Amino acid sequence: MQSPTISAAARDRVLLNKVLSATVGVQVAIVMSSLTVPVLAVPIAAAARVPAYLVGYYSALIYGFAVVSSFATPRLFHRWGGIRVHQGLLVMTAVALLMLLTAQPVVFAISGVVLGLGYGPMNPASTVLLTRYTPANLRSRVFSAKQTAVPVGGALAGLATPLAAAWLGWRGAVVLLAVVCLALSVLIQRWQFEIDSDKVPSATPHPAPSFWRAFVLLLGNRGWRSVTIASCAFGSVQFSFTAVFPTVLAHVGWSTTTAGRAMSVALVVGVIFRIIWGTAADKIGSRPILTILGGMMSIAAFAAAFIAASWSGAAIVALAALFGVSAFCWSGIGIADAVRHVAPAMVPEASAGVIGLTFFGALAGPTLFSAVTGLTGSAAAAFVILALFSAAGTLLLLFSAVRPTAEG
């Protein structure tokens, strides 16, 4: 007969596996959905009778409203629970996708708003659940495993969505993805009572957390503030790379297909190395690893400023891999570090704040990149600015004297 301690440990492992499966599945589905319009821009734009380049505004709407909705996560979480919130986000995503079927520009814009409102809370809500069920000494690797949903969702969007569109047409592909989101929301219902009924083991949480509490943390908690500001800088580099790298390669003579393959190198490398870096962070500390990753991002962004037609394919692929091993690997470690600096009852606000400012970086980085490139006529200056952003975040982490916590 097993002892109660062993039984409790086994139960915790089962719950962690359920939470990780649910959160990764939901994030993959929502990330895929957010990339449906960019991936299918040509046929969708033709149906809507608008220029395909306007797709950039759709992505801007998603990330802009994700910034806002991410800060609302604590209220949603305390009111409904983590699984219920994830189910609601999947339903919102399905609605946003089905709105695209109208092929009306105004409805497209509303779809981007709805999808952004659904995109924002998915990461902080999953962070709260995982923080509850993950031992402190495993958080970096578990959070890094959760964050593989982003490149996996991106890769699936690039591979599966065009195949579905070729088979069913772009509308059929959109409906299929909406059905997947709704089916997933039904599938995770079986875990809802077990997971959402398990309360945070601390003092009773506030019934209605303030929308602004994350900003209070930003002002008053030095350890949390430094990693949050660094996350904003790192997010600007990560999302700028995904937004502009294929276009930059196209300007130096690469075809769309080969540029996409170079991008896929970064995604694949990111999936592989997230777990490796996360494991290292659990062993030696998250700050040293984040500092290393930030330095690598700075080097990659600075090197990208010199991309030219004379560069060999191997050099371009190596640069993409450098972005992949750094810019696509920091987020899980950064989130895990952020929640170490707050009390358990404040984890929803801490996770919402760090992810909200990361989304702000995702919105501001590509926007600034496009503006600087338009003003200078070259992407070189924009890449240098990104390098300075990541360098500033790295220096902030390096020189912020953080008092160690009980959790590391």
How many beta carbons lie within 10 A of that of residue 309, not counting itself? 8
Residue 135 in any domain: the answer is: yes
Count of domains for the chain: 2
Cα separation, 238 vs 228, whole angstroms: 15
Is the pLDDT confidence value at 402 over 70?
no
Residue ending a domain, among 169, 194, 219, is 194
Confidence of residue 96 (pLDDT cuts 50, 70, 90): very high
Is the pLDDT confidence value at 137 over 90?
no
Structure-token match 């509490």, residue found = 213
- Same-domain pairing of 105 and 139: yes
Mean pLDDT, rounded, of the chain: 82
- Same-domain pairing of 402 and 253: yes
pLDDT given at position 296: 96
pLDDT given at position 405: 42
- Same-domain pairing of 245 and 179: no
Q: pLDDT, tens digit, for every residue of 174-192? A: 999 999 999 999 998 888 7
- Same-domain pairing of 269 and 313: yes
- Same-domain pairing of 180 and 229: no
pLDDT given at position 197: 63
More confident residue, 260 or 286: 286
Residue 134 in any domain: the answer is: yes
Confidence of residue 123 (pLDDT cuts 50, 70, 90): confident
Write out the residue range of the structural domain in which residue 379 sits: 209-408
The arithmetic mean of pLDDT across residues 67-94, rounded, is 85
- Same-domain pairing of 153 and 16: yes
CA nearest 388: which of 245, 243, 233? 233
* CATH classification at residue 182: 1.20.1250.20
- Same-domain pairing of 133 and 75: yes
- Same-domain pairing of 14 and 147: yes
Residue 156 in any domain: the answer is: yes
> What pTM, to 2 d.p., does this model score?
0.76
Residue 151 in any domain: the answer is: yes
Q: What percent of the chain has pLDDT over 90?
A: 30
Is the pLDDT confidence value at 378 over 90?
no
- Same-domain pairing of 365 and 339: yes
pLDDT given at position 91: 96
CA nearest 215: which of 225, 227, 223, 205? 225
Q: pLDDT, tens digit, for every residue of 196-215? A: 764 444 434 444 445 566 66
For 84-126, give the DSSP string: HHHHHHHHHHHHHHHHGGG--HHHHHHHHHHHHHHHTTHHHHH
Residue 199 in any domain: the answer is: no
Contact (Cβ atoms closer than 8 angstroms) between residue 343 and residue 285: no
- Same-domain pairing of 324 and 405: yes
How many beta carbons lie within 10 A of that of residue 363, not counting itself? 23
CA nearest 271: which of 393, 151, 173? 151
Q: pLDDT, tens digit, for every residue of 30-69? A: 998 988 887 787 788 888 887 766 666 787 788 889 888 8
Cα separation, 122 vs 18, whole angstroms: 16
The arithmetic mean of pLDDT across residues 74-88, rounded, is 83
- Same-domain pairing of 146 and 288: no
Residue 43 in any domain: the answer is: yes
Q: pLDDT, tens digit, for every residue of 234-278? A: 999 998 887 778 778 878 888 766 777 787 788 888 888 988 999
